Amino acid sequence: MTDPIGATLGVVGGGQLGRMLAEAASPLGVEVVVLDPTPDCPASPPAADQLVADFDDEDALAELAARADVVTYEIELADEDALDSLDAPVHPSPESLAITGDKLAEKRALADAGLPVPDFAEVHTESGLEDAFDALGSPLMLKARRGGYDGRGNAVVDSIAEAVDYFGDLSGLIAEELVDFERELSTIGVRGANGVDAFPVVENVHEEEILRETLAPAPGDDASRDAARDVALDVLDVLSGRGVFGIELFQRGDEILVNEIAPRPHNSGHYTIEGTRTSQFEQHVRAVLGLPLGSTELREPAAMANLLGTGESRPADLAGAADALAVTDAHLHWYGKREVRPLRKMGHVTATADSTDTARERAKSAVDALEFR
């Protein structure tokens, strides 16, 4: 594509990622149509239109493809086979979604390409899990191959009884060695029509397997950041199609291991809206439409803190936004979800400063000013 003005991007999924994609597309003259089963989904206000339908609804997907110059997706619940049959370009490719949507297929593809990954084993039965304990040690990380996110579908177990208690049926699982990592890193890789690039390598802080903070750039020496970037660029060779890819990594000493990949914008890249010259969302729009990529250069150190739901499930009523915005160089992003639930991602705050430490303090101060009534 040579000109974005008047183009239409179809997006499967209308959550917060779809919302921020639509916000980034609008200044480029690109209209966004989202497909999501939730009426008035978070992406619906900035999007030009919403098709209310399930992610695998073939008729709705065909309508989306008919209206769009390019189709993309912001959720792994998209159906790769249905996407592959559409009469419109789909980016990233459905093949990439098939790989990353199955944690076992993903690990095998990475290992076959010679990329560093934690040791792993396929699990279908109790005896298979026993073999995994023998091969990988105990405790180990046990994951559902499909559908897990924000820690759901993952469990650290040291016995068959614990695994059965968490998963019930042990079929369709992958066991991984429990990596004794020093820190969790990530980057947003990007493939455009004329090359690849990667955003700065960042450090992520998780609690209960849910991302709480991202620090950009990752503190420490250039050597570890450069090593992580090199691994991430190698990951892009395993995947196909244009777009951005969230690449999660472990640092264990001098070793960088690939944890998981998301073929879409990623929570750990939200800081790019204020922190880099081109956000991950604008970059994704540029990439999938075949437009020139923007600069991934960091403007200044930044930190992102997630705003997570607290208390019992209830209508979302946020207080303290004015106080949060009073924090120097703090930027609030509210996702427009109607219901708050424990640990649900409701928004985020990014802060910038002359150091990651100061940016982190500002982001934390802004998030601490917010509460759900």
Nearest Cα neighbor of 156 from 108, 208, 213, 212 is 208
Query: How high is the pLDDT of residue 209?
Result: 82
User: DSSP 3-state assignment of 86?
Assistant: coil
> Domain limits of the chain?
8-90, 119-177, 183-372
Q: Is 3 helix (H, G, I), strand (E, B) or coil?
A: coil
> How many whole angstroms separate alpha carbon 373 and alpha carbon 85?
46
Provide the pairing of β-strand 202-207 with 173-177: unpaired
Class of the domain covering 8-90: alpha beta
Tokens of 152: 């759901």
In three-state secondary structure terms, 79 is coil
What is the per-residue pLDDT across 136-162, written as a single tens digit (0 to 9) for each? 999 999 999 997 776 678 999 999 999
- What is the value of pTM for the model shown? 0.95
Q: Residue 317 in contact with residue 372, Cβ under 8 Å?
A: yes
How buried is residue 66: exposed, middle or buried, by Cβ count under 10 Å (0-12/13-18/19+)?
A: exposed
Contacts of 64 (CB under 8 A, 6+ apart): 10, 12, 33, 35, 51, 71, 86
Contact present, 284 and 269 (Cβ < 8 Å):
no
Q: Pick from 62, 70, 64: which is nearest to 7 by CA?
A: 70
Q: What is the pLDDT along the chain (373 residues), one digit of tens a residue?
A: 668 899 999 999 999 999 999 999 999 999 999 999 999 999 999 999 999 999 999 999 999 999 999 999 999 888 999 999 999 999 999 999 999 999 999 999 999 999 999 999 999 999 999 999 999 999 999 999 997 776 678 999 999 999 999 999 899 999 999 999 999 999 999 999 999 999 999 999 999 889 999 999 999 999 999 999 999 999 999 999 999 999 999 999 999 999 999 999 999 999 999 999 999 999 999 999 999 999 999 999 999 999 999 999 999 999 999 999 999 999 999 999 999 999 999 999 999 999 999 999 999 999 999 999 9
Superfamily covering domain 119-177: ATP-grasp fold, A domain (3.30.1490.20)
The CATH class of the 183-372 domain is alpha beta
Helix (H) or strand (E) holding 19: helix 16-25
User: Nearest CA to 308 among 240, 207, 232?
Assistant: 207
Helix (H, G, I), strand (E, B) or coil at 367: helix
